[in-house]
Amino acid sequence: MIELENLSKHYGDLAAVDGLDLHVARGELLVLLGGSGCGKTTTLKMINRLIEPSAGTVRIAGEDTSALAAPQLRRRIGYAFQQIGLFPHLDVAENVAITPRLLDWPEDRVRERVDALLRLVELDPETFRNRWPAQLSGGQQQRVGLARAFAAEPEVVLLDEPFGAVDPITRDRLQRWFQAVRRELGLTAVFVTHDVVEALLLGDRIAVLDAGRLLQVGSPDALLQHPAHEKVAELMATPRRQAAAVDALLGRPASA
């Protein structure tokens, strides 16, 4: 569904992304994992051409994205990010409806889609449709942002640390909710995070990046059991240490 071939982005002599090759199957969630500056957000933004590649090719459903006008491409791809980015002067329904209206959907279809998505993200339309973003909690704003990303019935969704701005309890709830919704809608997704546990819990596969290069890509189990690079092993050691610390607090033997 998504193909990245020799994808690169250079700023002068700095290679933010360097010769990246990745394929994402239809219906798969691929996590881009790594520390700050590893190239994961730059990669995400090159998929929908918020950043233009210096070299390489991006294909979606076999179509070279460079052959499309950037605004046309972005209207086909859902996009959600940590800062949420709801327009404060638009109410909830208007925020969700932005892309369908840009695509000239009939207003009755727009209203039906908005209400269906608000129910999907567990926000009662009668209660929340006309609320302003400032009247919502952080978790509610995140859910409206995700509803907006899904609004135009995209097959592909890009998510840049979408749960990073909320508290741990809300984050856990949103993660579990998102997995259920993604599978229900059959979405293909690329998800950026620096949180190893989040990557392990959400990803069908995980691509570990460092300094713009791909170190390893594989299932969560494969990365945990068979890290192919010392930096991958270091990342995968983090949840093991955390689990061992929790076990110690509970008076249980550490897990193997």
Q: What share of the chain in percent tops pLDDT 70?
A: 97
Q: What is the pLDDT of residue 113?
A: 93
The vertex-195 CA angle with 138 and 34, nearest 5°, equals: 125
Q: What is the pLDDT of residue 254?
A: 59
Q: What is the pLDDT of residue 126?
A: 94
Whole-Å CA distances, 171 to 162, 175, 207, 223, 241: 9, 6, 22, 24, 21
Whole-Å CA distances, 254 to 13, 176, 195, 220, 225: 46, 26, 22, 21, 17
For residues 126 and 112, give the distance between their C-alpha atoms in angstroms, rounded to a whole number: 13
Task: Say what the pTM is.
Answer: 0.86
15 within 8 A of 212, measured Cβ to Cβ = yes
Give the strand order in the sheet containing 205-210.
77-81, 156-160, 188-193, 29-33, 205-210, 213-218
Q: What is the pLDDT of residue 43?
A: 95
Q: What is the pLDDT of residue 56?
A: 95
- 172 by Cβ neighbours in 10 Å (0-12 / 13-18 / 19+) ranks as middle
What is the rounded end-to-end Cα distance, in angstroms, of the chain? 37
- 255 by Cβ neighbours in 10 Å (0-12 / 13-18 / 19+) ranks as exposed
Closest to 92 (Cα-Cα) out of 43, 25, 32, 137: 137
Residue ranges in the chain whose pLDDT is less than 70: 82-84, 165, 253-256
Q: What is the pLDDT of residue 84?
A: 66
Give the strand order in the sheet containing 14-24.
14-24, 2-11, 55-60, 63-64
Q: What is the pLDDT of residue 83?
A: 64
